[in-house]
């Protein structure tokens, strides 16, 4: 594969029948006591197709996590429209799973109990749900660890359990907010491979927030590059690398070109 100096970019995907998420002019202003407000997001428009893997990169404070919270239904937006399958996102939705920066497992519950906890809250623990939970635990390499407690697992294993907890509901959309930021470099690489394997098997739509340019290129079909606050989409970069991805690709000229392009975009918007 030859090196490239200008990877293909676009500003928004044209609306098509396979669009799962659609955002139009999304704006979020946090109220302040002086009445001026803090504009976290400003006029953000994009489409995400069903089955895509999207990463969002940008400076700290640029609104990445705010955008993810709005997508999850945990945070209201000020103006604009955001929809999932054509219906407004206006609250938590069982079709949307969330993996947080830390696994947030309850220490007094076993791994299986933690995985099933959202279903317990909804009073929806059926034999089929239990079977799916066990199957997913096996898929992520936690077969036989269901009766263990979080403190008995490594950080990477706990994060795998957090992913299973989000997937057990069989959501259409999986949101991941810097889920591997606290892991060491080698564990993080392995978790990236694990996420790609789960994505390739399930074809869930994934939106992944990260500070790592390399991680965003390695995982994604497209990378959303955000400006500093107020967060806007500076550019959307298509990642035309073959799948399945391997760690060896990181050393390729094409990979380096994409990483370099995204870094230039971020540097143009300010220190990164």
- The reported pLDDT for the residue numbered 78 is 96
- The reported pLDDT for the residue numbered 151 is 95
Tokens of 196: 């790609």
Q: For residues 217 and 262, is the Cβ–Cβ distance under 8 A?
A: yes
Q: For residues 16 and 267, is the Cβ–Cβ distance under 8 A?
A: no
Task: Name the nearest CA neighbour of 212 among 241, 183, 249.
Answer: 183
**Residue ranges for the chain with pLDDT beneath 50:** 1-5, 8, 10-15, 271-272
Tokens of 151: 């403190």
Question: If you compute the radius of gyration of the chain from its CA atoms, what whole number of angstroms results?
Answer: 19
Encode the chain in three state secondary structure: CCCCCCCCEECCCCCCCCEEEEEEEEEEEECCCCCCCEEEEEEEEEEEECCCEEEEECCCCCCHHHHHHHHHCCCCCCEEEEEECCEECCCCCCCEEEECCCCCCCCCCCHHHHHHHHHHHCCCCCHHHHHHHHHHHHHCCCCCCCCCCHHHCCHHHHHHHHHHHHHCCCCCEEEEECCCCCCCHHHHHHHHHHHHHHHHHHCCEEEEECCCHHHHHHHCCEEEEECCCCECEEEEEECCCCCCCCHHHHHCHHHHHHHHHHHHHHHHHCCC
Domains (range + CATH), the chain: 18-95+172-269 (3.40.50.300), 105-170 (no CATH)
- The reported pLDDT for the residue numbered 270 is 61
- The reported pLDDT for the residue numbered 17 is 62
Report the b/e string of 195-213 with b at 16+ CB within 10 A: bbebbeebebbbbbbbebb
Q: What whole-number distance in Å separates Cα of residue 272 and Cα of residue 268?
A: 9
- The reported pLDDT for the residue numbered 100 is 85
- The reported pLDDT for the residue numbered 4 is 42
């Amino acid at each position: 594969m030859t090196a490239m100096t200008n990877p293909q970019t676009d500003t928004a995907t044209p609306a098509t029948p396979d669009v799962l998420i659609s955002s139009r002019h999304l704006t979020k202003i946090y109220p302040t006591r002086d009445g001026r407000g803090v504009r976290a997001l400003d006029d953000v428009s994009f489409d995400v197709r069903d089955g895509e893997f999207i990463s969002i990169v940008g400076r700290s404070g640029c609104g990445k996590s705010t955008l993810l919270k709005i997508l999850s239904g945990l945070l209201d937006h000020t103006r604009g429209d955001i929809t999932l399958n054509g219906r407004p996102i206006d609250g938590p939705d069982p079709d949307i799973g969330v993996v947080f920066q830390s696994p947030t497992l309850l220490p007094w519950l076993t791994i299986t109990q933690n995985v099933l906890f959202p279903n317990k809250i909804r009073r929806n623990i059926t034999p089929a749900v239990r079977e799916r939970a066990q199957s997913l635990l096996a898929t992520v390499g936690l077969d036989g660890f269901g009766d263990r407690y979080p403190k008995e697992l490594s950080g990477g294993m706990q994060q795998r359990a957090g992913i299973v907890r989000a997937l057990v509901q069989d959501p259409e959309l999986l949101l991941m907010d810097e889920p591997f930021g606290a892991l060491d470099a080698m564990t993080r690489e392995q978790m990236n491979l694990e996420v790609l394997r789960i994505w390739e098997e399930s074809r869930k739509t994934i939106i992944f927030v990260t500070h790592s340019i390399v991680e965003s290129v390695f995982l994604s079909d497209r990378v959303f590059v955000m400006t500093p606050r107020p967060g806007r989409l500076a550019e959307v970069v298509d990642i035309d690398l073959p799948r399945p991805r391997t760690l060896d690709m990181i050393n390729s000229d094409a990979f380096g070109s994409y990483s370099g392009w995204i870094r230039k975009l971020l540097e143009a918007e300010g220190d990164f």
